[in-house]
């Protein structure tokens, strides 16, 4: 990790300042904007969810209160019936009646029973209207099997439903209230419109005499509960589930009697109320709010589509995102302008610095700014002035140095060369060889005039060749070495100027060392030609040659000294004049002669007028 970060930072520091500024500005602009966008989105999402939860929880509390109320009315109704003395007397009379007694009293007894039935039905209707306040089915069953209802007893469906109660199988053994699970409606006329009912069962007993008068069954249609949670909005649904996760009621009536786990297989927290965000079995992300009804251990659940409740927030976030993107482009444009205004003058100044050479050092950078970059430009101009001054001083020093070297060279050559030449003239005169003496004096005079008397440091290649011819003529007359010199100089380079006495030391080395112990057959070729933007002068001999392995390193060339002048002097003079890329190259093999290449720049060779 550290190595990767270091590599990234190294790459960052390698790029130019404009790119650094753009990257820095981009990070400074983009990171805060998107961070604020993310925080705003999360914060607003939480605020909206909490607000929706608060509103939903209030609504669920009202639902729970309403459901509690209707369940409480059912309990109240059952208690009223079980404690009403009139109802107990009627049920007791119904239990004691015998339809097979004296036939004379049969009509009277039937009439009395009809009166009791009507009286009980009226009482049940009053209870249903006054106590329940909503649609309900109330049934009284006596131990003898007699039935009293506030609904129309309509045949087999009701009979099948009530038969277990009439047989005593489902009648509670004590005086407690028993609630049954949600079940299908047993009133035939209402089955289609009210398919499910919720039922309460309670005994009608006399606790003092331990006497049982009958059983009361109160059922309310599930739709009476559903009306508290129904909604026409398809983006959220509500359910009432029991402690076993069975659905008692839902907002659209499609899932009654099903297990809630078919819709959501997660766990509802044990807390009385709360909310959480999760996904249904269908994969939809939802906000689930719950509120528990303690009386029945039921739970009211509200499920809202998360996308629906955050729809407006999403639209606001999209607008905020678009605004942020526009701001990013605007800010990046401004940042780019600022970065360019900073980087461009620095780049131009850097370019000026990189292009600073012998020619541009005389020029001054135009100062256009008054800030830190302007100070840099001013400092750079001052530096250029100082460099120019130092260059002028160095050029003057180099010029004086070259003049001193040339004077020293001439002073070094003159005594040695003059002594030997004059000595040769003397012996020619002693031997009465006046022509040889005259030729030597003429050649010596021309050579001295070209090399010593003329003050010009540069001469043309043609003049240098003429000097060589005078020098070679003197050497041939002074020494017994037999050799021939051949010249092949292109006409196009004859007028180019080169430093004085540049070729003479090289030819001297070829004669004195290449032809050492060679009496006849010596040959020197002097060839001059153009090579693109360079001039190449070759001095080739067929002498004894040498091993040049030790010359591969530039430092070792200085150890090669053939004469007082030497190749070292020639090579250094060329480099002083023209630079390190020019100079001499020696190619030689023992027994195969030697070739000396002299490389000079063509651009410095100017035509002599």
| Predicted local distance difference test score (pLDDT) of residue 288 | 93
DSSP bridge partners of 529: 536
CA distance 425 to 434: 9
- The mean of the pLDDT values for the chain is 78
| Predicted local distance difference test score (pLDDT) of residue 556 | 42
Mean pLDDT of 12-39: 77
Summarize pLDDT for 543-599 with one digit per residue, the tens. 888 776 655 444 444 433 333 456 777 888 788 778 888 999 998 888 888 999 999
Return the structure tokens found at 360. Answer: 């541009």
Alpha helices in 271-371 (DSSP H): 306-309, 311-354
Mean pLDDT of 445-463: 73
Residue 169, pLDDT above cutoff 70: no
Model confidence at 423, in pLDDT bands (50, 70, 90)?
A: confident
Model confidence at 168, in pLDDT bands (50, 70, 90)?
A: low
What is each CA distance from 261 to 234, 244, 282, 301, in whole angstroms?
20, 10, 12, 13
| Predicted local distance difference test score (pLDDT) of residue 289 | 94
Residue 164, pLDDT above cutoff 70: yes
Residue 100, pLDDT above cutoff 50: no
Residue 11, pLDDT above cutoff 80: no
CA distance 140 to 124: 9
Summarize pLDDT for 103-131 with one digit per residue, the tens. 545 666 666 667 777 777 777 777 777 77
Please give the DSSP secondary-structure letter assigned to residue 259. Answer: B
Return the structure tokens found at 564. Answer: 């007082």
Model confidence at 291, in pLDDT bands (50, 70, 90)?
A: very high
| Predicted local distance difference test score (pLDDT) of residue 6 | 64
Summarize pLDDT for 533-544 with one digit per residue, the tens. 899 999 999 888
Mean pLDDT of 62-81: 87
Model confidence at 414, in pLDDT bands (50, 70, 90)?
A: low
Residue 54, pLDDT above cutoff 60: yes
What is each CA distance from 609 to 273, 280, 467, 502, in whole angstroms?
111, 102, 19, 21
Range in 42-46, 149-153, 217-221, 422-426 with the lowest mean pLDDT = 422-426
Residue 24, pLDDT above cutoff 90: no
Model confidence at 382, in pLDDT bands (50, 70, 90)?
A: confident
What is each CA distance from 543 to 152, 540, 593, in whole angstroms?
145, 9, 4
Angle at 511 between CA 567 and CA 479, to 5 degrees: 135
Summarize pLDDT for 292-337 with one digit per residue, the tens. 987 788 999 999 988 888 877 777 777 878 888 888 888 888 888 8
CA distance 483 to 518: 9
Model confidence at 195, in pLDDT bands (50, 70, 90)?
A: very high
């Amino acid at each position: 990790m550290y190595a990767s970060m270091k590599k990234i930072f190294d790459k960052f520091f390698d790029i130019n300042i404009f790119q650094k500024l753009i990257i820095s500005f981009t990070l400074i602009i983009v990171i805060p904007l998107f961070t604020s966008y993310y925080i705003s989105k999360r914060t607003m999402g939480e605020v909206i969810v909490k607000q929706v939860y608060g509103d939903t929880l209030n609504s669920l509390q009202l639902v729970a209160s309403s459901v509690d109320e209707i369940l409480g009315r059912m309990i109240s109704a059952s208690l009223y019936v079980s404690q009403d003395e009139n109802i107990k007397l009627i049920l007791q009379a119904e239990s004691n009646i015998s339809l097979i007694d004296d036939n004379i009293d049969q009509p009277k007894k039937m009439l009395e029973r009809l009166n009791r039935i009507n009286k009980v039905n009226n009482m049940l209707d009053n209870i249903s209207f006054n106590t329940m306040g909503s649609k309900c089915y109330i049934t009284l069953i006596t131990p003898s099997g007699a039935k009293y209802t506030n609904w129309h007893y309509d045949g087999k469906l009701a009979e099948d439903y009530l038969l277990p109660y009439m047989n005593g199988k489902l009648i509670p053994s004590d005086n407690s209230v028993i609630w049954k699970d949600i079940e299908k409606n047993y009133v035939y006329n209402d089955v289609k419109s009210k398919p499910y009912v919720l039922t309460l069962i309670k005994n009608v007993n006399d606790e003092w005499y331990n006497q049982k008068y009958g059983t009361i069954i109160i059922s309310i249609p599930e739709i009476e509960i559903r009306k508290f949670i129904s909604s026409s909005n398809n983006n959220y649904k509500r359910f009432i589930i029991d402690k076993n996760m069975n659905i008692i009621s839902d907002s659209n009536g499609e899932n009654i009697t099903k297990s809630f786990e078919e819709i959501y297989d997660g766990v509802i927290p044990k807390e009385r109320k709360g909310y959480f965000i999760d996904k249904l079995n269908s994969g939809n992300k939802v906000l689930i709010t719950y509120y528990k009804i303690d009386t029945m251990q039921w739970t009211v659940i509200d499920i809202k589509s998360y996308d629906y409740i955050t729809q407006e927030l999403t639209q606001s976030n999209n607008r905020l995102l678009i605004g942020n993107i526009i701001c990013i482009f605007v800010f990046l444009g401004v940042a780019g302008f600022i970065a360019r205004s900073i980087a461009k003058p620095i780049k131009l100044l850097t370019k000026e610095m990189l292009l600073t050479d012998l020619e541009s050092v005389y020029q001054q950078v135009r100062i256009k700014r008054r800030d830190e970059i302007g100070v840099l430009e001013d400092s750079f101009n001052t530096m250029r002035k100082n460099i120019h001054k130092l260059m002028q001083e160095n050029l003057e020093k180099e010029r004086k140095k070259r003049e001193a070297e040339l004077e020293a060279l001439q002073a070094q050559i003159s005594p040695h060369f003059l002594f030997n030449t004059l000595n040769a003239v003397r012996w020619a005169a002693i031997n009465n060889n006046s022509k040889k003496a005259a030729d030597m004096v003429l050649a010596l005079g021309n050579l001295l005039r070209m090399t010593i008397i003329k003050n010009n440091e540069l001469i043309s290649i043609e003049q240098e060749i003429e000097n060589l011819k005078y020098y070679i003529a003197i050497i041939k007359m002074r020494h017994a070495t037999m050799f021939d010199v051949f010249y092949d100089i292109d006409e196009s380079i004859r007028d180019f100027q080169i430093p004085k006495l540049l070729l003479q030391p090289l030819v001297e080395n070829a004669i004195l060392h290449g032809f050492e112990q060679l009496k006849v057959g010596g040959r020197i070729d002097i060839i001059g030609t153009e090579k693109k933007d360079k001039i190449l002068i070759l001095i080739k001999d067929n002498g004894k040659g040498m091993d040049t392995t030790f010359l591969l390193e530039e430092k070792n060339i200085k150890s090669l000294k053939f004469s007082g002048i030497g190749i070292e002097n020639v090579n250094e003079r060329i480099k002083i004049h023209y630079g390190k890329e020019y100079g001499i190259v020696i190619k030689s093999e023992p027994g195969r002669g030697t070739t000396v290449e002299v490389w000079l720049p063509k651009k410095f060779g100017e035509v002599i007028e």
